[in-house]
Structures are given as C-alpha cells and as structure tokens.
Structure 1
Amino acid sequence: MIDMGAALEDRTKTALTAMRKILRTTELNSKRLMQETGLTPSQLIFMQMLDDEHEQTAGFVAGRMGITQATTTALLQKLEAQGMIQRRKGETDRRQVWLSLTDAGHKVLQIAPDGVHARFHQEFAALEEWEQAMLIASLERVAAMLGNHDQGVAAVLDATAVLSSD
C-alpha cells in the first residue's frame, strides 16, 4: 500500500529542490555578470532593449520588461550614473525623454556574457505553444503559492536587487 503522505512529501521535496536549482543558477549568473560588466541582469536587459530598439522612452522599456515606473527610475538612474545610457528631451514635446545607449553602453553589451535569460529565452522559444502556456501557468501558480501577489515585481529575475542595492 502506498503512503500518500510520504509520496506528497517526496514531490514537495522534488519541487523545492527544482526551485533551489533555479535560484542558484540565477544567483551564479548574476554574480558572473556583475564581475564581468558591473551590471545586474535587469540593467543588462534594460540596455539590450535600448540596443534592440535604439532610442526609446522609459515607459516603453518598462512596459516591455513588465516592471513598474519606480523600478524603471531606479534602473535608469544607475545606468546613467555609470555612463551607460543618456537622456534626450523630445524635440516636439519637451516633456518626453528619449533614452539611448552611450558608446560605453554599447561596449559593455559587446562583452556581456549570454546569461540565464538568453538561455531560457532560447529554450522556451523552442517549446510548443501549449508547453509554453503550461509552464507559464505553473510558474505563476508557484509564485502565488509563495505569497507573491505584488504585480510590481519585475518579469526579470533580480528586480528587488535593483531597488535595494546602491
């Protein structure tokens, strides 16, 4: 006879082990990226979106990244202080601010290692649509189970580090 309690406990341990592996991989990726470029994964992705799209507004990048205005402002200030991005006032609407990479920002992107986000994107894109939908639903369910109901948390794996680090 199968002990259902023990089977559930084993599955719980397996799920927690998988989550620890994900967290450890992203942590190691973040450390490597920081050592090689001085950037966090969120900062790198922000810069990549400016590189892909050329000059953009902060709101556009925030929307594509799925982050709040507060997180965007923190990223923007840090990247500008590091000399990676520059701001330009709109010519027709002076309230509008356009962002672009500096030469230093372009150079850092050239040396930045392909990280966890790039590998995940490549592997995820190779999945069937139903597999992608199932994985998204499962991950969202795990986040909800852990009590993370904050819609302001970035789609990027280290959003809180951006707000709490200097």
Structure 2
Amino acid sequence: MPVKKVSSEIELSSVSAFELPLFQALRRLQQAGEVHAKRVSKFGGLTPVQLLILQVLAGERRLTASDLSGRVSLTAATLSGMLDRLEERGLLQRQRDDQDRRKQWLLLSEPGLALVQQAPSLLPPEFVERFAGLDEWERHSLTAALLRAAQLCGEME
C-alpha cells in the first residue's frame, strides 16, 4: 500500500504547536547572550564576535579572510570591518603570501595572543558550570541539537 503524502497544511499546523516554546527558548538564549556580551565587552573592550575571531585565529597558524568568514559565520563585508578594528588595535596582522601575492593571511599578534589567553569564556559562566555537570551523552546531544537548530536557520547570506 502506498504511503500517503502529508499535505503541507498539516505539516505546518504540526510545526505551529512548537512555534511558541521554540521562540521562547531562542529568546532566552538571545537574552543570556546579550547579558554575557556586556560582561565580555568589559574585558579589553571586545565584543564576543571579536573575541571569537581572535580565538579562532589562536587555534590556527594562519587563515585567509574567506576561511575565517565561514568559521565565525560572518559575511565578508562585516568581517572586513572587524578585522580592520582588530588590526588597528594591534591584535592581529595581515601578511601577504610569499608565492601568491593576491592571497593575504591573517595572523594573531603577540598582544592578541596574550589577550586571548586572559579572556573570559565566550559562554556565560553559569552555563559553562551547568553544562559541565551534564553527562557526556547529554552534552553531545545538546550540542548536536543546537548545531542542527542553527543549520535550520539557514546559511549566511
């Protein structure tokens, strides 16, 4: 017996039952992120996204702006302005590739590395403490669910 296709009307109505609790959860995450962003900005005058950029660069020897853009989920235009500000503060350096002069590498400077080593967590401390208290399977499950939810929100434009 063939499987009946569920109409999009029924699919949407079944999703609507989740709409309010999902939005409320996303809003709570957003609020917690905003509060923590204010805490992080008191450290070195960096936004969480600027700190993320520095932390990604600290984990890599060097990256191009396009590689970094994908890693931090920023458009090239938005990232460019942030890189300019971080470079002006002496926290990162740009270096032309020896073989391909069109290619430019981004490197963390010594002051940038020192700042990253002293920086607070990108996550609120309360979250980090509670998350650490979860069983490993639950940490993996929660991480996978959040990554999937972010994926459902779509790719960068």
Q: Identify which of 48, 52, 63 aligns with 1:56.
A: 63
Separation in structure 1 between the aligned mates of residue 54 and residue 32 of structure 2, nearest angstrom: 22
**Cα pair 2:73 2:156 within 8 Å, conserved:** no
Q: What letter is aligned with 2:93?
A: Q
How many Å apart are 1:15 and its aligned residue? 4.5
Q: What letter is aligned with 2:72?
A: M
Check if 1:106 corresponds to 2:113. Answer: yes
Separation in structure 2 between the aligned mates of residue 87 and residue 81 of structure 1, nearest angstrom: 11
Q: Identify which of 66, 82, 91 aligns with 2:73.
A: 66
Q: What letter is aligned with 1:151?
A: M
**Cα pair 2:58 2:108 within 8 Å, conserved:** yes
Check if 1:127 corresponds to 2:140. Answer: yes
Separation in structure 1 between the aligned mates of residue 145 and residue 58 of structure 2, nearest angstrom: 31
Q: Where has structure 1 moved over 3 Å in runs of 4 or more?
A: 14-17, 121-125, 131-141
Check if 1:35 corresponds to 2:39. Answer: no
Separation in structure 2 between the aligned mates of residue 56 and residue 63 of structure 1, nearest angstrom: 11
**Cα pair 2:36 2:124 within 8 Å, conserved:** no
> Percent identity over the alignment?
29
Larger radius of gyration: 2
- Number of matched pairs: 135
Identify which of structures 1 and 2 has the higher relative contact order when contacts are C-alpha pairs closer than 8 Å and 6+ apart: 1
**Cα pair 1:37 1:111 within 8 Å, conserved:** no
1:127–1:35 Cα change, 3 Å:
same
Partner in structure 1 of residue 156 of structure 2: 151
**Cα pair 1:25 1:116 within 8 Å, conserved:** no
How many Å apart are 1:150 and its aligned residue? 7.6
TM-score (norm 1): 0.66
Partner in structure 2 of residue 88 of structure 1: 95
What residue ranges of structure 2 are gaps of 5+ in the alignment?
1-15
Q: What letter is aligned with 1:102?
A: S
Separation in structure 2 between the aligned mates of residue 97 and residue 64 of structure 1, nearest angstrom: 17
How many Å apart are 1:117 and its aligned residue? 7.8
What residue ranges of structure 1 are gaps of 5+ in the alignment?
1-7, 144-148, 153-166
Separation in structure 2 between the aligned mates of residue 32 and residue 51 of structure 1, nearest angstrom: 21
Q: What letter is aligned with 1:115?
A: L
Separation in structure 2 between the aligned mates of residue 43 and residue 132 of structure 1, nearest angstrom: 22
